[in-house]
Chain A
Amino acid sequence: MKAATNAGRLVRQVLSGEVWPALADRHAYRVGPDGQPFLLPGMGGVTLGVHCADPATGYASDHLEPGASIRHRDPAANMALQFLTCVGNQVRVAGGPAAGALGHVIGQHAYVLVDFPETAAANLASGDPVTVVASGQGLALPDHPAITVKNCDPDLLARMPGGTRPDGRLEVHVAARVPAEAIGAGAGMASEYANTDLMGAYQGLGEDLSLGLEGLRIGDIVALHDADHRYGRGYRPGYLTIGVISTGQCMLFGHGPGPSTLLSGPSEAFLLVDDPDANLASWLHPGEST
């Protein structure tokens, strides 16, 4: 049975932002796990060729942000955009050659990350304005009071498989399970902002760096064990957090593909179902040609 929600009481708010350029400084290089200097694209701007259901790793990239990376110029308005925008919210390009194109929010990463069809993304550039219809913060599951919902469009939750089980648990389908050892940068931050980098997914690097997470895909729904994200991101034995992989390949040590937070609560409140199709592409972008 689909879980009952308070979706009818949520408001939708129209927000604006723009495609934000990739940023660098004159020293160029960052440092990998063994001190190796690297300069790789992927963060900011419009990253092409990587969409939901594509591998998260395996690219010559760092902090790979699929699609368009969005911010607002005003610092306080930007925080509102980052905090209020939810995974699954619709985004419309409001100007430039791609005007009118529709995409979906796949997560936050100090940018709002928007997956557009490749044909639309190809016509996007830094500075293009976008309109976000933000909805989802405040979403609650009355029959699952121990579970906190964050950053999740009500329509996305309705499309995801699973729901309230006869025993009262919330069934959630996940493509991967993540051990607490994998939690990297993002620990200690607000769970409405940026995401949780996962270590142990450095494809092509040492076995001693691996936690078996090299198979993650962009858009995968994942379960983080012993993670409590109800009030920020922290370690708590016996808690579970459900997130969606919104960023990909990282070379920067202590970083990696990252889930944006969707659900968090005591482990016993959830029933996890391993499901390789538990990916945003199954529900948000069906039939889109990439």
Chain B
Amino acid sequence: MTSALRLVAVNLLGVVEHPALGGSPYRVDRDGRSYVPTGDGGIVLGLELGDPAFGLVADHAAPGACLVHPDPASRHALASYACIGNQARVRTGQAAGARGVVLGKRGEEGRVIVGLGQADLARLRPGDEVAVRACGQGLRPPGLRPDVTVMNVDPGLLALLPVDLGGGREAAVSAGVRLTAPSRLAGNGIGRPAVSWDLDLQLPQPGEDGVGEVRIGDLVAVDDIDARYNMGYRRGWVTVGVVVHGASPLPGHGPGITPILTGPAGALRPVPDAAGHAGLTAAAMVQLQ
């Protein structure tokens, strides 16, 4: 895969998910308390890019609609090929014709998170069909230094993120991030393929003064994680991802990132800005839509 090879786009069919529970409504949180998970998949209203990841009583809530596919293999393909920034269009139901953008992905069986306007989301119904114009896997921006890997992004997305590709073999790629987390906070998603899973970060609850707050759409870096293939520990590496869903009461879970950049720490340089960071924004999404 080099920049000389052209990317292809594929139209994939996603179906708006209905949340699913087992025979018991309860899950058990990290302190041993039972809770009923809300917002875990399906259509979540009122949560948008820029909102705090810890702001809701919810479990893995994602901003918008989660897309799945009834066939497991098709669902994995949907989650693997869709990239952040890809266009999505509602094909059926009351919201038919509405335009949205892929905001992220979630792992396990595979989910694609599509951001839509709140009015369109309110008209959407589980089972509605959404087409995703999937494009981006295999992307290697021209001039990108060879030891940095890009994944899970639409070809038009990087220009809209606080990412500087450096323009040469020597200059580091830099990425503005909200914070850098140590690898010991990496939870669910470790050991899984970075092209189709998110990586949950077991971040502490932010203080009342907002210190440690992470927002949906933020870029976040994780030290010592190599995400070129499966995600795992590699000393001296760094991975940068987009926060695509909110916190979870479950042990081992937390706000999840869809990885977009990974490389040796000297080649990929996160630039944290706890107060002023802006990652994936609604304005950027409008440009891609």
Contact = CB atoms under 8 A, between A and B. Distances in A.
B157 interface: no
A254 B28 contact: no
B31 A254 contact: no
- Chain A contact patch, size range: 35 or more
Contact of A253 (B29, B184, B186, B229): B229
B252 interface: yes
A226 to B, nearest CB: 7
B185 A252 contact: no
B232 A183 contact: no
Contact of A231 (B31, B193, B234, B237): B31
Contacts of A183: 184, 186, 190
B181 to A, nearest CB: 11
Given A33-B226, A188-B252, A234-B252, A254 B232 contact: yes
A95 interface: no
Interface in A120-164: none
Interface in A230-250: 230-236
B184 A231 contact: no
A77 B252 CA distance: 26
Contacts of B229: 31-33, 35, 253
Given A184-B191, A228-B30, A254 B184 contact: no
A209 B190 contact: no
Contacts of B183: 181
Q: Interface SS of chain A: helix, strand, loop or mixed?
A: loop
A180 B251 contact: no
Interface in A91-142: none
B233 A199 contact: yes
30 contacts: A31-B230, A33-B229, A33-B232, A179-B184, A180-B184, A184-B190, A184-B191, A187-B186, A187-B188, A187-B190, A187-B252, A188-B200, A188-B252, A200-B233, A209-B232, A209-B233, A226-B184, A228-B251, A232-B28, A232-B251, A233-B251, A234-B252, A235-B185, A253-B229, A253-B231, A254-B190, A254-B191, A254-B231, A254-B232, A254-B233
Interface of A: 31-33, 35, 179-189, 197, 199-200, 206, 208-209, 211, 226, 228-236, 252-255
Q: In the A-B complex, list the 10 residue pairs whose CB atoms are closest, starting with the nearest.
A: A234-B251, A254-B191, A185-B191, A188-B252, A188-B188, A254-B232, A180-B184, A253-B230, A232-B251, A234-B252
